[in-house]
Amino acid sequence: MSTASIVAFIEKRFGPYRKQAVFNTDEFDLSKELQCLYPTLIKEYSDYVSNHSLKPIQEYSDVQRDLTGKQQSWKAVFLYGYGHQLGKYDGFFSKTLAFAKGNSRVVNAFFSVLEPRAELPIHTGKYSGLLRAQLCLMSPTSGDFGLEVEGKKVDVPIGQVRIFDDTFPHRAWNRTEQPRVVFIVDFLRPLPFDLHVLNRLGVWLIGRTDYVKGVKRKLK
C-alpha cells in the first residue's frame, strides 16, 4: 500500500469524531497555554521581523501557490513541523520553539500574516487527525477582515484563541490597510487511545512525504 492509501485508511477511523467545525476553546488546555504565551509571541515575532523580511507563503509550497495565485500578500514564518524545527532561526524564537518542541500534541507551529488587501479563498485542510488553534497577535483596528469557517464568521480578538477543524471549508481576508498576524498551531485531535496511536502513525507518515520534505528543504 502507498503512504497515501495508509493515511486515507487511518483517516476513515476518525469519521465519527469529525462532527463540528468550531470548538469551545475552554475545552482545551492548549488554548490556555497559548494565551499565556501571547506576550512572548508578540516580542519574538517583532524581534524577528525587525531584522528579516517575510516571504510569501507560495515560495514554500506549490499547494499554497495554487491557493493564492499571483498575490504576494499572504506571508508566513514556519517554525515547527512534523517533529522538526524548520529553519535555523539563530537567536530568534527560542521560547516559542521550546513551547512547540515541549508539547507532545503540537504537530505544526507558524506565524501567518495577511498583508493589506489579502484574500484567501475557500479551502480545506488535508488531514482530519489534526485541529487548528489560531491566536491573534495583531489585527486591524477597523474595517473588513476576518475568518470564516463552514460559512460562519469566527471572531478572533487580539490575544484570544479560536480552535477549528480546518478540513471544513474556511477562508480568510483582510481588506484593510493594516496587517493581521496570527500564530497557528496544528495539534493532535483528542481521540480514544487506540485511535490516538493510529493518528500518531498517520502524522509520522505525512511527515515523510515528498511534499513535507520539500517544504523543509526550502526552509533550510
Neighbour count for residue 147 (Cβ, 10 Å): 22
| Confidence bin at 66 (pLDDT 50/70/90) | low
The more confident residue out of 220 and 202 is 202
pTM of this structure: 0.94
Provide the β-strand partners of residue 85. 80
Residue with cell 524545527: 85
Q: Decide if 148 contacts 170 (C-beta within 8 A).
A: yes
Using one digit for the tens of pLDDT, what is the confidence trace for 164-180? 999 999 999 999 999 99
Using one digit for the tens of pLDDT, what is the confidence trace for 18-32? 999 999 999 999 999
Instruction: Report the distance separating Cα 75 and Cα 32, nearest Å.
Output: 26
Q: Tell me: pLDDT of 65 over 90.
A: no
The more confident residue out of 58 and 102 is 102
Domains and their CATH numbers in the chain: 3-219 (2.60.120.330)
Q: What mean pLDDT is predicted for residues 194-207?
A: 96
Compute CA 199 distance to the chain's CA centroid, rounded to the nearest angstrom. Answer: 18
Q: Tell me: pLDDT of 160 over 70.
A: yes
Which pLDDT score, from 0 to 100, does residue 213 have? 77
Q: Decide if 134 contacts 182 (C-beta within 8 A).
A: yes
Q: What mean pLDDT is predicted for residues 45-67?
A: 80
Using one digit for the tens of pLDDT, what is the confidence trace for 89-129? 999 999 999 999 999 999 999 999 999 999 889 999 989 99
